[in-house]
Amino acid sequence: DAGVIQSPRHEVTEMGQEVTLRCKPISGHDYLFWYRQTMMRGLELLIYFNNNVPIDDSGMPEDRFSAKMPNASFSTLKIQPSEPRDSAVYFCASSFVKDTQYFGPGTRLTVL
Amino acid sequence: SQQGEEDPQALSIQEGENATMNCSYKTSINNLQWYRQNSGRGLVHLILIRSNEREKHSGRLRVTLDTSKKSSSLLITASRAADTASYFCATEGGSSNTGKLIFGQGTTLQVKP
As a whole number of angstroms, the longest Cα–Cα distance in chain A is 39
**Contact state of A98 with B43 under an 8 Å Cβ cutoff:** no
Q: What percent of chain B has pLDDT over 70?
A: 91
Tell me if residue A49 falls in helix, strand or coil. strand
Query: Is the separation of the CB atoms in A60 and A50 below 8 Å?
Result: no
What is the pLDDT confidence band of residue B98, given thresholds at 50, 70 and 90? low
Chain-chain contact of A105 with B106 (C-beta, under 8 angstroms): no
The partner residues of B103 in beta bridges, in order of sequence, read B90
pLDDT at A112: 96
Residue B82 burial class via C-beta count within 10 angstroms: exposed 0-12, middle 13-18, buried 19 and up: exposed
Residues of chain B neighbouring A99 (CB-CB closer than 8 A): 31, 48, 99
Q: Which residue type occupies A16?
A: G
Cα gap B66→B75, rounded to integer Å? 14
Question: Which pLDDT belongs to residue B100?
Answer: 80
Q: Which amino acid is residue B71, in one-letter code? A: S
The whole-number pLDDT of residue A102 equals: 94
Q: pLDDT band for B94, please (50, 70, 90 cuts).
A: low
Residue A99, pLDDT above cutoff 80: no
Query: What gap in Å lies between CA A48 and CA A62, rounded to an integer?
Result: 16
pLDDT in tens, A15-52: 999 999 999 999 999 999 999 999 888 899 999 999 99
B104: exposed, middle or buried (C-beta count within 10 Å: 0-12, 13-18, 19+)? buried
Interface test with A, best of B32, B43, B58 (most A CBs within 10 A): B43
Task: Tell if the CB–CB gap between A45 and B42 is shorter than 8 Å.
Answer: no
Q: Is residue B79 very low, low, confident or very high in pLDDT (cuts 50, 70, 90)? A: very high
More confident residue, B96 or A27: A27
Query: Which of B108, B109, B92 lies closest to B29 in space, CA to CA?
Result: B92
**If interface means Cβ-Cβ distance under 8 Å, which residues of chain A face chain B?**
4, 31, 33, 42-43, 45, 48, 50, 55-56, 91, 93, 95, 98-106
pLDDT for residue A1: 63
Q: If we measure between CA atoms, which residue out of B62, B92, B90, B91 comes closest to residue B78?
A: B62
- CB of B101 within 8 Å of a chain A CB? The answer is yes
By the CB < 8 Å criterion, does B31 face chain A?
yes
Q: Does B50 touch chain A (CB under 8 A)?
A: no
Q: Rounded to the nearest 5 degrees, what angle is found at the Cα of B24, between the Cα atoms of B23 and B27?
A: 135
